[in-house]
Structure 1
Amino acid sequence: MTTAPNASTAAPTVRPGSVPVPSSTGRLGQGELRRKVAAILTDRPGEMFTPGEIARSLDRSAGAVGNALSVLADRGQAELVATGPRRYRATATTADALKGGRTSAARPAHPTTATAPAPKAASAPTPRTAGASGTSAKVEKPVVGPVVRPNGQTYHPRRLADLPDVAALRRLREASIPAMLYGPPGTGKTSLVEAAFPDLITVAGDGDTAVADFVGEYTQAPGGGYEFIYGPLITAMTEGRTLLIDDATLISPKVLAVVYPAMDGRRQITVKAHKGETITAAEGFYVVAGHNPGVHGAVLTEALASRFAAQIRVSTDYDLARVLDIEPRAVRVARNLARRQESGEIGWAPQLRELIAFQKMSGVLGPEAAVANLLGIAPEEDRDVVAEVISSVYGRAVAPLALGQQI
């Protein structure tokens, strides 16, 4: 069960002469929360704030504020200066985010200033230029530098609609447009979502996934009796976080139906297992799904597809494979097989995950063992074609990795 990280309970520090923003837990208009957040950053230039600190001063969810900060950073209107925890500060263009109008005539309350030293930011903010009207204009040169995922691994963004893919996904979230990423396993769908949304909660789907895996269930309490433990869907809704339904098309359509009311205009679900409780999604709640076409048991129903207005194909970035110093001949084999897969000649080709594993295997057991293993992981029905391609690239016959004579 995924739980929300602990948040500091320190009261926000209000600067002399400022007036706290009145508590407002109702639904805000488009971009209104972002302007509130920008107002706080603008009012305290040079100081760093976590999403939780700003959230407490605005009486909003930390997830929603974190999303607003991510959008501001993408636009160059905020700077991510630390990642553990995330801390942001104003830039020279943060005030541009207020040009839609301040959300309150009063000055906002301000969180306690962080004093910890700031490590290097995970990625540089995306620069913006001012248009003739004085409003923020389209990004001229999107930043495509590496992004650090929550697990500490580095993600290399790719272009999507003239933006870094992480920035494009954040914009879809801002506009409440659910996204489905589809493509072969190992192409980086989950890595992209993790890089785009640090507040992510994941449900790993399979044929045994049940409604309780989304909404929660009763569990025996330490002191006796039973208590209801909320599931990932409820946590994401109440905290305004992103929910990734990985391998969504392996989950029974009857089970997935529990998510649909939270994704449409109602933004509510009823937890029948817990006294018929009604849960309303907080601002920032967002759903993204992963789909592996061609995987046994994966069925993309019309009901599921219709819930995801944005459907984005994710394929292996073979140029990235070269950047990662993966053996060039292995990349050539993968490209060749990918072309044959697209033509329908075979059903499998090595993806980035397999190429990274190839490189690791080569470093541990040697290049010959890595090549033999690459053939061995190919499905039986495609193995003859894979062997032919590997042999043509490496100039020798190859057999699957296997035990030899007794030593």
Structure 2
Amino acid sequence: MAMYLVEHPDEFHQPGAIKHALGVPSAGAVSEVLKKMTAAGHAVHHTGPHRFRITQAGIDAAGTMPAAAPRPTSGSGGGRPGRRGPVTRPNGEQYFPRRLAGATDVDVLRRLRDKRIPVLLYGPPGTGKTAMVEAAFDDLLTITGTGDTVVEDFLGNFIPLPEGGYEFVYGPLVQAMRHGRALLIDDATLIPPKVLAVLYPAMDGRRVIHITGYRNERVEAVDGFYVIAGHNPGVHGAVLTEALASRFDVHIEVTTDWDLARHLGVPAAAITAAIALNADADAGKVTWAPQLRELLGFTRVRKTLGLPTAVANLAGRAPLDDRPAVVAALTAAFGTPVTPLTLGKQR
């Protein structure tokens, strides 16, 4: 019940409505729990009619609670642990929110945006950082960072017109500031630090930048403007400077959710191998291990070309230096020798 209130922190709820939402048999029992939460300072109670709302203390306390036991569903034999419904991303794919700070990751990002608290998401490529942000914000603009990213990629540049001449087209940072949109700097730590510096005045108390290449135009951020950055530690060329890290008040590590992988139909043996390889990566034995992106790709290949080909393909995706360890982990998990997918001579 506490987790339900956490997911709707700004609303007052009547016991009967909570009973209906949770599918429990007694509104009276719900009311008694709510009264105990109120007595503990975890909820506030208004009368006429009786309704309750969770407090910040309640949200904090809920974050320390163990996960709720799964509720049986018809024909499920006990079912899976309950999840909040999936969110559709712009590309049409579904994102399944994950628990974070007593709520879901999507809810937390939205709450932080409301308070103008910037977030740095970090973790291996393929763990769902970009998908999470796309699910959280339907007004998202994105800059994908590389070593070749320049200031103009943030601010805009002149483009030639068909009839001759040039027109200045504003970049994603300017658009996000003027229209109050969220801006994701994906792979931010691949961008040269001198280029990233263009972002800092927009993120501090000034919330103002100047387009020096276009009439020194002043751009001021309106309400709703928000910056999120993604960082892949260990990726060649990715450097998290103190100047960048200090601009983000919240740093969230994003790892692969193995339960979600099972929920999405990834075979158990593939998950077993991935978990073992991730443990090796944490110990410094390998530099690469499959994440959710690779596991979902594995599942698609399996459905199209069959299991042996999918396993061979997953082995072939590993960097050459790590391939022997990946082959060994896949061989142990699937119980059959594995060879990377190779096109050889005609038979």
Question: Same fold by TM-score, threshold 0.5 exceeded?
Answer: yes
Offset, 1:143: 7.0
User: Residue 220 of structure 1: which of 148, 160, 180 is its match?
Assistant: 160
Question: What TM-score, normalized by structure 1, do the two folds share?
Answer: 0.67
2:104 pairs with 1:164: yes
Q: How far apart, CA to CA, are the structure 2 residues paired with 1:329 and 1:223? A: 60
User: Residue 398 of structure 1: which of 338, 344, 347 is its match?
Assistant: 338
- The change in CA–CA distance for 1:274 and 1:136 in structure 2 (over 3 A counts) is farther
Q: How far apart, CA to CA, are the structure 1 residues paired with 2:13 and 2:220? A: 37
Partner deviation per Cα, 1:310-342 (whole Å, 9 max, x = no partner): 110000111111101111111111011111111
Q: How far apart, CA to CA, are the structure 2 residues paired with 1:253 and 1:133? A: 51
Partner deviation per Cα, 1:110-157 (whole Å, 9 max, x = no partner): xxxxxxxxxxxxxxxxxxx88336584246799722112222211101
Q: Which runs of 5+ in 2 are unaligned?
A: 1-5, 15-33, 47-51, 63-67, 69-81
Name 2:212's counterpart in structure 1. Answer: 272
Offset, 1:309: 1.0
Name 2:72's counterpart in structure 1. Answer: none
Amino acid at match of 1:377: R
Which SS does the other structure have where 1:132 is aligned? strand
Asked whether the equivalents of residues 315 and 326 of structure 2 are also in contact (C-alpha less than 8 Å), the reply is: yes
Amino acid at match of 2:8: R
User: Residue 44 of structure 2: which of 116, 126, 132 is its match?
Assistant: 132
User: Residue 122 of structure 2: which of 159, 163, 182 is its match?
Assistant: 182
Q: How far apart, CA to CA, are the structure 2 residues paired with 1:352 and 1:386? A: 16
Amino acid at match of 1:218: F
Greater per-residue helix proportion: 2
Amino acid at match of 2:230: G
Offset, 1:92: 7.6
Offset, 1:349: 0.7
Amino acid at match of 2:269: R
Partner deviation per Cα, 1:144-187 (whole Å, 9 max, x = no partner): 22112222211101111111000001111111111010000000
Offset, 1:76: 6.6
Offset, 1:243: 0.3
Q: How far apart, CA to CA, are the structure 2 residues paired with 1:376 and 1:197? A: 35
Segment of structure 1 superposing worse, 374-383 or 277-286: 374-383
Asked whether the equivalents of residues 95 and 135 of structure 2 are also in contact (C-alpha less than 8 Å), the reply is: yes
Asked whether the equivalents of residues 143 and 164 of structure 1 are also in contact (C-alpha less than 8 Å), the reply is: no
Q: Which runs of 5+ in 1 are unaligned?
A: 1-72, 79-90, 94-128
Asked whether the equivalents of residues 240 and 284 of structure 1 are also in contact (C-alpha less than 8 Å), the reply is: yes
Q: How far apart, CA to CA, are the structure 2 residues paired with 1:74 and 1:323? A: 22
After the TM superposition, list the runs of 4 or more consecutive aligned residues in structure 1 that deviate by more than 6 angstroms: 140-143
Name 1:256's counterpart in structure 2. Answer: 196
Name 2:31's counterpart in structure 1. Answer: none
Question: What TM-score, normalized by structure 2, do the two folds share?
Answer: 0.78
Asked whether the equivalents of residues 13 and 53 of structure 2 are also in contact (C-alpha less than 8 Å), the reply is: no
Offset, 1:305: 0.5
Asked whether the equivalents of residues 74 and 167 of structure 1 are also in contact (C-alpha less than 8 Å), the reply is: yes
2:148 pairs with 1:208: yes
Name 1:386's counterpart in structure 2. Answer: 326
Percent identity, aligned pairs only?
Answer: 53
Amino acid at match of 1:395: G
Q: How far apart, CA to CA, are the structure 1 residues paired with 2:263 and 2:183? A: 31
- The change in CA–CA distance for 1:143 and 1:349 in structure 2 (over 3 A counts) is closer
2:295 pairs with 1:336: no
Q: How far apart, CA to CA, are the structure 1 residues paired with 2:224 and 2:13? A: 26
Q: How far apart, CA to CA, are the structure 2 residues paired with 1:143 and 1:92? A: 21
Asked whether the equivalents of residues 9 and 53 of structure 2 are also in contact (C-alpha less than 8 Å), the reply is: no
Asked whether the equivalents of residues 332 and 393 of structure 1 are also in contact (C-alpha less than 8 Å), the reply is: yes
Amino acid at match of 1:132: V
Asked whether the equivalents of residues 77 and 92 of structure 1 are also in contact (C-alpha less than 8 Å), the reply is: no
Partner deviation per Cα, 1:229-261 (whole Å, 9 max, x = no partner): 100000000000000000000001011000100
Offset, 1:362: 1.1
Q: CA RMSD in A?
A: 2.2
- The change in CA–CA distance for 1:76 and 1:133 in structure 2 (over 3 A counts) is closer
Asked whether the equivalents of residues 44 and 53 of structure 2 are also in contact (C-alpha less than 8 Å), the reply is: no
Name 2:8's counterpart in structure 1. Answer: 75
Asked whether the equivalents of residues 247 and 292 of structure 1 are also in contact (C-alpha less than 8 Å), the reply is: yes
Partner deviation per Cα, 1:33-59 (whole Å, 9 max, x = no partner): xxxxxxxxxxxxxxxxxxxxxxxxxxx
Amino acid at match of 1:137: I
Q: How far apart, CA to CA, are the structure 2 residues paired with 1:175 and 1:222? A: 44
Name 1:281's counterpart in structure 2. Answer: 221
Asked whether the equivalents of residues 83 and 96 of structure 2 are also in contact (C-alpha less than 8 Å), the reply is: no
Q: How far apart, CA to CA, are the structure 2 residues paired with 1:249 and 1:401? A: 33
Offset, 1:266: 0.2
Amino acid at match of 2:179: E
2:241 pairs with 1:301: yes
Which SS does the other structure have where 1:256 is aligned? helix
Q: How far apart, CA to CA, are the structure 1 residues paired with 2:244 and 2:171? A: 21
Offset, 1:387: 1.5
Amino acid at match of 2:195: V
